[in-house]
């Protein structure tokens, strides 16, 4: 990651009160008078990372990051079984973004999202296109049913041993008839017994690690060593995916015409197993103002040197838009 900008600390941060019992952590880095750029983290439920600050020229950008509902430093945390996730949906997040924009006095901003963050960026941009100056997406997803199914069933032939363990971790009699592991784990992650919840969170991430370790020799993200982090992330992911992210299937591709006039760069690793290239390709066809760049040696992780360099090159291109 030598091509990224130096480490930087926030010059401002706060908690945005959504008015419904949620507090959203946000922070601002870089130049307070610079071009506003919003970072949308993945997961859902992963929380924002300090490394993403370094994808933007700090002299040119006012870089805004926030932890989406119930994860990271936002409150209440999904790690607490008493935290009600019914107020955590794609459309609540879209409303949070717009509330944050208004609170910070920003007219329009560049959006950067990777993985789930790409889905959220598209949902926001298609709802508020007048507030979006440009979009950069990597590891492109739209969270269609087929994309969810690929992650938690379609990839099974690629990792048979890990898939076997993933399925066997679900107690007998609770495995879904059609192998719907998302629904099975959603129940386990909301079980009254804390040991059951934490074990399900570990087992869930063991399955995710199969594709991560193949693509990233650095191994599991450091944050995965924290059991509370794993529970937070897994509980939110299964909450979203059992509900199809509250999107009509294929909605974001069908409504891509709403992005007309917004320039975009789509960065996709050729070896991205978690988000296969077809989704980025279909989005590029539906969004004429976008430019698809296929990275020959990259996978899903933004930490891949080829991917991180491509993200920095993209943000540099949009500095003066």
| Residue positions annotated with a catalytic role | 115, 272, 300
133 backbone dihedrals φ, ψ, rounded to 5°: -85, -35
As given in the structure block, the two tokens for residue 216 are 């990233």
Q: How far apart are CA 165 and CA 206, in angstroms?
A: 9
DSSP codes joined into one string, 235-291: HHHHHHHHTGGG--TTHHHHTGGGGTT--EEEEEETT-SSS-HHHHHHHHHH-TTEE
DSSP alpha helices (H): ranges in 4-139? 90-103, 116-127
As given in the structure block, the two tokens for residue 101 are 């924009």
DSSP letter, residue 56 = S
Q: How many Å from the N-terminal Cα to the C-terminal Cα in the chain?
A: 25
Helix (H) or strand (E) holding 269: strand 264-269
Which residue pairs, CB below 8 angstroms and at least 24 apart, start in 158-162? 158/210, 158/211, 158/273, 159/207, 159/210, 159/211, 162/206, 162/207, 162/209, 162/210
Q: How far apart are CA 73 and CA 75, in angstroms?
A: 6
């Amino acid at each position: 990651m030598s091509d990224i900008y130096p480490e930087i600390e926030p010059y401002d941060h706060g908690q945005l009160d959504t008015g419904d019992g949620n507090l959203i952590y946000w922070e601002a880095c870089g130049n307070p008078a610079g071009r506003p750029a919003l970072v949308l983290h993945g997961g859902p439920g992963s929380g924002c990372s300090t490394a993403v600050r370094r994808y933007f020229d700090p002299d040119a950008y006012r870089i805004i990051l926030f932890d989406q509902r119930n994860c990271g430093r936002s409150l209440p945390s999904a790690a607490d079984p008493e935290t009600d996730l019914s107020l955590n949906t794609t459309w609540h997040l879209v409303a949070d973004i717009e509330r944050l924009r208004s609170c910070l006095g920003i007219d329009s901003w560049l959006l950067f999202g990777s993985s789930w963050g790409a889905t959220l960026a598209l949902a926001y941009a298609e709802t508020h296109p007048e507030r979006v100056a440009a979009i950069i997406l990597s590891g492109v997803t739209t969270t269609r049913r087929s994309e969810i199914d690929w992650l938690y069933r379609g990839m099974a032939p690629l990792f048979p041993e890990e898939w076997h363990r993933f399925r066997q971790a679900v107690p007998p009699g609770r495995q879904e008839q059609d192998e719907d592991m998302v629904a099975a784990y959603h129940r386990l992650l909301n079980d009254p017994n804390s040991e059951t919840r934490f074990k399900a969170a570990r087992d869930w991430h063991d399955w995710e690690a199969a594709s991560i370790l193949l693509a990233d020799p650095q191994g599991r993200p450091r944050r995965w060593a924290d059991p509370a982090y794993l529970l937070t992330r897994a509980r939110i992911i299964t909450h979203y995916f059992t509900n199809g992210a509250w999107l009509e299937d294929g909605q974001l591709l069908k409504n891509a015409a709403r992005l007309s006039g917004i320039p975009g760069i789509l960065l996709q690793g050729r070896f991205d197993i978690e988000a296969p290239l077809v989704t980025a390709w279909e989005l590029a066809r539906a969004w004429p103002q976008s430019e698809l760049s296929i990275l020959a040696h990259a996978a899903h992780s933004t930490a891949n040197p080829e991917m991180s360099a491509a993200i920095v090159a993209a943000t540099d291109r949009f500095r003066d838009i």
